[in-house]
Structure 1
Amino acid sequence: MLLFHFYCIIAAGQCKWYNVFGICVFVVWAIMIEKYYFHQSDQTDLNIYRCGIQECKPGYTWGPGIRDHFIVHYILDGTGMFSNGKIQKKLFPGDGFVVFPDCLVTYSADPENPWTYSWVGFHGLKAETFLNKAGIYRESPFFTYNADNRLRDCLSDMISEARRNTVSELMLLGHLYIFLSILIQNNHKTLQNTSRYMNQEKYVKKVIEFISKNYSEKISISEIARSIGLDRSYLYIIFKKTMKMSPQEYLINYRIERAVSLLRNPDLTIGDVARSVGYEDRLQFSKIFKKVKGISPNQFRKMQNSEPQKN
């Protein structure tokens, strides 16, 4: 059985309470938040955690913070900014962004034209696979859908279903599958009808995906280029243009960020960490780590150990 509960969050200031047809809504000046939460098992291909709609106050900001599940936001009106520390992007109606689990993000409503967005939060064994098929990745968590109102309607249908006293798990999941299938179809059409620039972006995403899956192996940029069917020099040009760094720099940064996480595990030696992120030579790893982070892996680990423990 699907367990369900609902609540509203008030930011600040004066507010009014409305109860219409069993729908509980708080209005805080120009803010309206309507949220529905669900309890389902993670051990399925896809399950829905929550859905809602929010009309934000000017400058309203969430973060910096992380989530433990996926949340897709679709902008209905207004504008705002999204940042994950590496990419900062202004978004408009018809745009969307995804908060991936354990990724530090910040998003803010525009001070002059604050956004209103609907969202759906979910998890599951195939959740990230479906998003990747839609062309949405941790490193580039954006999409645009302006073809029609199907995405908007799908989110609206989820909220309408959640308002019912007897929420149907199958109905909610059905809406979520339709929502993701629309995004996947949209990505396929974009790839078929895209401009040269969008083709370049597609290849860059393929490189990012390849690195995320194979960074622990001894891979070269030439191998990556061959795997996606591009000349190495051309790959360098389009990757540098899009990401503002070379493929090699991106690979190194990805490995070092992963190493930072592994170094917090006291059971792993520096050599273990080096091999886990694609470096057979411990000294080479230490040299590259110091070049990127300014300190050696040993110094980094000592600093972590010397920090006071949080209760």
Structure 2
Amino acid sequence: MTNMEQIKELYTTAPLSFVDIITQKVTYTNSVRTIFTNEKLSGLVFPLRGKAQFSIDGLTYEIEQGSILHVGPNMEMKRTAENDEVFEYAVIHFELSSESANRFPIFREHFMLRIGDSMKLNNRVQQLMQNFLIPGGLAFLQSKRLFLTILAEMIVASEKTDLEKAENMDVIIQYMHQFFPKGITVLHVAKHFQIDRRRLSSLFERQMGVSPNMYLTDLRIQKAKLLLRTSNLSIAHIAESIGYRDHFYFSRVFKKETGLSPTLYRRHLG
């Protein structure tokens, strides 16, 4: 099961319970702050205005409208606003029983979803913020319904964004052709286009017939063949020029793909 499938399963089938929604405003004077999340609750961070960075476990997320950050329980998170802008955001807290959390381990993790410009979802969050301020059981019941609606619309918006990226596969391929000599990996490509790595691999293979990792390897091997036939560059120089820092590793990959070592390939076909 891919990461996106786990996320979808969490938000659509896990017995999640709405707890509350809070709003925070970050200004220049309190832009850097370390936050510890609740021991039992997860949260969804919805940017309302401005941009900020959230760092968790050494991974930094650039948060702005069009993105949602899921943060699991009992986590240390560093929040930093960008420039002198005011950053305002809402956090929806929700819980899952320990037994259910074991069935849905991604509940305890952190990850970001890209939802694009979803006015409908933004309006739902605003409705929830307003409704939660109304006292009484009926209003809380309506808040719970809005929470479930938001989860469903998050999945729809995220999948729509992924589809748009898949339809723009030519841009992704162009990026790979341009930067494979720099040693980029599939993870670099996924981060550049702000899409989950496993999701990118699935979309890429569906359209191209090969995995993005195999595609990058083929780009490098084809370029290496050309250089071996047409230049006197050393094997180490060729390896570095196509994105391999270790020329011994390059030689192993080249032989696996062609059946010949780079030296033998040059000797026979150069």
1:129 Cα deviation after fit: 8.7
Aligned residue in 2 for 1:104: 76
Cα deviation 1:258-289 (Å, max 9, x = unaligned): xxxxxxxxxxxxxxxxxxxxxxxxxxxxxxxx
2:122 maps to 1:122: no
**Corresponding residue to 1:87 among 39, 43, 59:** 59
**Corresponding residue to 1:158 among 124, 128, 153:** 128
2:197 maps to 1:204: yes
- Over 3 Å counting, the alpha-carbon distance change for 1:232 and 1:84 in structure 2 is same
Q: Equivalent residues in 2 for 1:1-311 (5 A)?
A: 45-58=15-28, 59-68=30-39, 69-124=41-96, 138=109, 141-168=111-138, 169-194=140-165, 195-196=168-169, 197=172, 201=190, 204-205=197-198, 233-234=213-214
CA distance, structure 1, for counterparts of residue 23 and residue 17 of structure 2? 19
1:47 Cα deviation after fit: 0.9
Aligned length: 171
1:153 Cα deviation after fit: 1.8
- Over 3 Å counting, the alpha-carbon distance change for 1:161 and 1:66 in structure 2 is closer
SS at structure 1 position matched to 2:78: strand
CA distance, structure 2, for counterparts of residue 150 and residue 203 of structure 1? 23
In the alignment, structure 2 segments of 5+ residues that lack a partner are: 1-13, 174-185, 218-270
SS at structure 2 position matched to 1:105: strand
The TM-score normalised by the length of structure 2 is 0.51
User: Is the Cα contact below 8 Å between 1:46 and 1:123 reproduced in 2?
Assistant: yes
CA distance, structure 2, for counterparts of residue 178 and residue 160 of structure 1? 15
CA distance, structure 2, for counterparts of residue 177 and residue 112 of structure 1? 35
User: Is the Cα contact below 8 Å between 2:45 and 2:91 reproduced in 1?
Assistant: yes
SS at structure 2 position matched to 1:118: strand
Query: Greater RCO between the two (CA within 8 Å, min separation 6)?
Result: 2
User: Is the Cα contact below 8 Å between 1:130 and 1:184 reproduced in 2?
Assistant: no
Of Structure 1 and Structure 2, the greater helix share is in 2
1:88 Cα deviation after fit: 1.5
User: Is the Cα contact below 8 Å between 2:32 and 2:78 reproduced in 1?
Assistant: yes
The TM-score normalised by the length of structure 1 is 0.45
Cα deviation 1:98-151 (Å, max 9, x = unaligned): 21123332112234112111221111257899997xxx9935x22233433222
Q: Decide which moves more: 170-179 or 63-72.
A: 63-72
Aligned residue in 1 for 2:234: none
Bigger CA radius of gyration: 2
Q: Which AA in structure 2 matches 1:185?
A: V
Cα deviation 1:179-206 (Å, max 9, x = unaligned): 1111100122223232334996467236
CA distance, structure 2, for counterparts of residue 104 and residue 235 of structure 1? 38
